[in-house]
Amino acid sequence: MKKPNAKIILITVIFALAAANLLLFSGALNRGACFRDMCLYGETSDPVNEFRLLVNSSSKAIIIAEGDASPTQTTAYVDIAFSQLASDLYLKSPKLIAIAVKDGAAINCSCENYANGTFAACQNDLVYCTSIQPAQDEMMIILKYPSYAKNEAVIKSRTIELRANSGASLSGMVEVLRGLIKKGG
């Protein structure tokens, strides 16, 4: 009997989780908005609208993704989340930064700037990639290497940092945020 494709099952579960990630509660108690598989925290008591406002008030975006230097399944999911965000936010002329991580440490990065309909390399410098900050009209999304205990997205200083416990979870978290953007209009 052919073993079921574990990857297929896993993927199915991921998207099922994303679909079921309705906002469960939000409140001032923990200043977070928790969905089934992640919680969103911000600097206000309404992080959902805070996130929407961050997106709507930004004319430019910086998307940073941390992944393995060598091919891994974990990073495959990071890549898909990275790509989804790049396509969703292309109108914000995204700066794409890929940071290779090994044993928990960043080892190198690649930076690409979107301008005039195409990409061009920007500063491929690790210091630059890890210390970049968004300007007042920019937003920054950081897909942290998924090695955290809990799935949390934290908004601070025009940056939203996604911390996941697995690549699949990270991909699911991005789906939740994409859903928030679409619903907010």
Partner 1 sequence: MKSINIKRAAAVVAGAAMVASVVTPALAAVGPTQADVNALVANIKANPANTKVIIGTNGAAISDGLAAAKIAAVLASLNYEQTTVGDVTGTKSVTVSTSGSEAVTPTASTQYMELDNLHGSTGYLADGTATTLTKESLGEVLKKQSLVASSDFTGTMASATYYYEDKIELMGGTSGLAAQYSEDTAGTKGHGLYMVSPSGALKYIVDFGAGIPIGPTIKYQETPELLFLGKAYGLNWKETESGKLALFTGDKQEMTEGDTIVQGDYEVTFKSGTRSGDKDYAVFQIKKGDVVKTTGTLTTADSEEVFFGTDKVSISAEYVGYDQETGKGYATIRLGTGLQTLESGDAFPGNTDWVIDRVNTTSGDTKLLTVSLKYQKTYTGTYLTGLAQGTMIDGPITAAGTPLFKVGLAGFGSKSTNYKTTTVWTKGMGDYNVGVGSELIQVKWQSRDGVTQKFTPEHPGEAIVGYDDTYNARTGFTHDILLNTQDSEGHVVKYGVINDKVIYLQSVAKGTDNRYTVKFRVGGSDGELVEVAGLQNNTNASLVYASPTEPINCNLQVLDFVGGTVDRRLISIGNSATCDVLPDAVHFGKALDFPATGGIPKMDLRDVLDQNNPYMVFYDTTGSHWVEVDYYSQPSTGVQAGLYVYDDSTDLFDQTDTTNFAYDYNKYHITYNSIEADGSVLGEATFIVPNEPRNALIQVTGTSTGAAAGQSVLKVGDTISNVKIEAITCPSTVSGTYYKQKGAISPENLVALDSAAAGTYQIVVGGPYVNNVAKAMAAKDMITVEGASYVYAEGNKLLVAGYSATDTTNAANELIQLLKA
Q: Does residue 185 bind partner 1 (CB under 8 A)?
A: no
Q: Are 95 and 88 in contact (CB under 8 A)?
A: no
Query: 25: buried, middle or exposed (CB in 10 Å: 19+, 13-18, 0-12)?
Result: exposed
Residue 124 CB, shortest distance to partner 1, in Å, is 11
Q: To the nearest whole angstrom, how small is the minimum distance from the Cβ of residue 155 to partner 1?
A: 22
Binding mask 62-101 for partner 1 (x = CB under 8 A): -x-xxxxxxxxx-xxxxxx-xxxxxxxxxx--x-x-xxxx
What number of residues does the chain have? 185
Q: Which of 7, 150, 156, 183 binds partner 1 (CB under 8 A)?
A: 7
Least distance (Å) between residue 47 CB and partner 1? 23
The answer to whether 163 touches 153, Cβ cutoff 8 Å, is yes
What minimum distance in Å lies between the beta carbon of 27 and partner 1? Answer: 28
- The helix (H) or strand (E) run that includes residue 101 is strand 95-102
Told to check if 132 binds partner 1 by CB under 8 A, we report: no
Instruction: Look at residues 64, 132, 62 and name the one whose alpha carbon lies nearest to residue 101.
Output: 64
Residues 63, 28: Cα–Cα separation, whole Å:
29
Q: What DSSP designation does 168 have?
A: H
By CB under 8 A, residue 177 contacts partner 1: no
Per CB under 8 A, residues contacting partner 1 are 5, 7-8, 11, 63, 65-73, 75-80, 82-91, 94, 96, 98-101, 108, 110, 112, 114, 117-119, 182
